[in-house]
Chains A and B, each alone.
Chain A
Amino acid sequence: MASDVNELKNNGREPSYLEYKGKHTGLLGWILSTDHKRIGILYLTGLIIFFLTGMTFGFLMRLELISPGKTIIDPQTYNSFFTLHGVIMIFLFVIPGLPAVFGNFFLPILIGAKDVSFPRVNLLSWYLYIIGAVLVLISLLLPGGPVDTGWTFYIPYSVRTGTNVMFALFGAFVLGFSSILTGLNFITTIHRLRAPGMGWFKMPLFSWALYATAWVQVLATPIVGITLLLVAVERAFGVGIFDPALGGDPVLFQHLFWIYSHPAVYIMILPAMGIVSEIIPVFSRRTIFGYRFIAFSSIAIALFGSLVWAHHMFTAGMSNTSQFVFSLLTMVVAIPSAIKVFNWTATLYKGSIELAPPMLYALAFIFLFTIGGLTGIMQGILTVDIQVHDTSFIVAHFHYVMFGGTGFGIFAAMHYWFPKMFARMYNLTVAKIAFWIVFIGFNTLYFPMFIMGWLGMPRRYYDYLPEFQTYHVISTIGSWILISGILLMFYNFYKSFRSGRKITEQNIWGGETMEWKVQTPPILENYHEVPTVTDGPYDYKFNDSINLKEEVIN
């Protein structure tokens, strides 16, 4: 295997991607690098900063809502906070998240390639990500005040408001192109750079997930791009496209906005499902149940997920016909997701379960995503949606899927791949404690929102009737617990990154996919020779047990 070729001078190890010195050194060696692994780390840095920023806005929002009336901020500020919280979390954290960090870092390794098809375009994607982020955040500082339209930029308010909408619109536009270029790169990479012997059905499921995601990125993103651009043009030149004062149809804006923004949530969730499909087999010591079903269900989710957008608009004034059509399609899109959940569960059955931190987050994903998904089905029922639309119920639903789903997927991936990326092991006990704090905090924060939403608490409201206060208090306390857990989790990573136990083992968890067959951390170009693949990605033998306890726990 390729592993034996690593016997060179320099302690028998070739310089890893962290160490090697190329044409540029120091910081330039990173921000001018076209190495997919370094670009993944660049994205990770941005991701952490923006996640913590978005989290801060969320924290302040919950602080405000702990009691009715003004608590710490005024209504205008509150509107800006929930807008920025949404824009930052969605466009800077959840959408780029898994593809840009872990897709970039691991996709080539997983398929036996030395890099992606277009390494320079990859770096460009990162520059666009940073530029877009700056444009979005700059609106905080400029006169006019930060954007307050909600992340959905609905007409006519987005054309009327005096706040810095233009920066947010252009920021989102630029970020869209970052996403498009990543998707374009991944599609080409998966088609062209799989190692010899790796047919489509020997690819790891994370690659399948990234492939399906990439198609949505490429096809759906331009539509929101042009839509937001048109809003900017309408603001700047009074053109008359959506603005009802000029004859436009504000509902048409909503259609075009959601034609992207619904598939966008599948951009968010598909890679996370891919992560779960990677982790469950490893920590159950069993091959995945129903590989082809999971692979095809990713494609099915991407396809059907593109046909359900108007379920965000049931109360907007659409025709009855379209309400029926979109409600029906919404039911259909749940099926491939459910197939995945069944297959993961079947994989666990009679497995040799190891509750390492990645597995804890993966199992939590299944639980939280199921709650989020089922409440989504509830909302797909027209009569229910009339009751819960624009209430906290919706807020709870999407946090369960986007945060309990994708967010926990990102945390799972971090715990799974941190040792491989940085050749250090984090403290397992602290990681598990942090997990439980996060899990308990998460549910305490969001579950009450289901209840109060059902009882009528509107979303995006600064003030509320006293009958809802108990739920808000519980929810806010939940936010404090959650944030403590998250900070503990990050602290664990930070400490381990600086001074954690160094590891050199290639395969710390006993996985069977190709990243566990390369050096830890991987070298430039990953492989000395591109390997020839003969086995499937999850070929476990029944008697293997994880050597976790002896080697890893100090």
Chain B
Amino acid sequence: MQTSEKHEEHTPGYGIYILVWMSLMTLTVITVAVAGINLSNFTVATALIIASIKSYLVLTIFMHLRSEEKAFRIFVGVAIFFVLISIILLFSDYSFVAR
């Protein structure tokens, strides 16, 4: 019946994966370095931002999200949105009360 349609139009070279891997390793080094600098809350924010960038690279390149059907990207968006909104609402409690 159906094969993998446009997903397999291009057989990817190995190069892009190696490039992404090098970026991931670099970003890891940066994260560790930044952690040594005490910027209190900004250290956490920086670490999370870098982690998000790394995840974005893994998602789009390693996990082929950028060559999948649009529905998949919407799905991922929905899932991430659910996680984020839940944390935000959770903190509407904890940010404003001392327990």
Contact = CB atoms under 8 A, between A and B. Distances in A.
Touch A–B, Cβ below 8 Å: yes
A57 interface: no
A129 B8 CA distance: 38
Interface stretch (A269-277, A315-323, A387-395, A418-426): A315-323
Nearest to A321: B96
A318 B97 contact: yes
A318 B89 CA distance: 12
B96 A322 contact: yes
Contacts of B18: none
A325 interface: yes
A319 B93 contact: yes
Interface string A298-328: 0000000011011000000111111001100
A259 B90 CA distance: 9
Nearest to A249: B99
Contacts of B96: 319-322
Contacts of B93: 251, 255, 310, 318-319, 321-322
Interface residues of B, number: 15
Interface residues of A, number: 20
Given A319-B95, A322-B96, A310 B89 contact: yes
A317 B94 CA distance: 11
Nearest to A223: B86
Contacts of A255: 90, 93
A321 B92 contact: yes
B19 interface: no
A350 interface: no
B79 A325 contact: no
A310 B86 CA distance: 11
Given A191-B71, A219-B82, A306-B82, A322 B99 contact: no
B75 to A, nearest CB: 9
Interface in B57-99: 71, 78-79, 82, 85-86, 89-90, 92-97, 99
A309 B87 CA distance: 12
Contacts of B79: 219
Contacts, number: 45
A153 interface: no
Given A191-B71, A249-B99, A251-B99, A319 B92 contact: yes
B97 A319 contact: yes
B65 to A, nearest CB: 16
A146 B63 CA distance: 46
A380 to B, nearest CB: 15
Contacts of B78: 215, 219
Contacts of B86: 223, 259, 306
Nearest to B75: A187
A226 to B, nearest CB: 13
Contacts of A259: 86, 90
A321 B94 CA distance: 10
A325 B93 CA distance: 9
Given A249-B99, A318-B97, A319-B97, 6 more contacts: A251-B99, A309-B89, A310-B93, A322-B92, A322-B97, A325-B89
The 9 closest A-B pairs by CB, nearest first: A319-B96, A319-B97, A322-B93, A322-B92, A321-B96, A318-B93, A325-B92, A319-B93, A219-B82
Interface of A: 191, 215, 219, 223, 249, 251, 255, 259, 306-307, 309-310, 317-322, 325-326
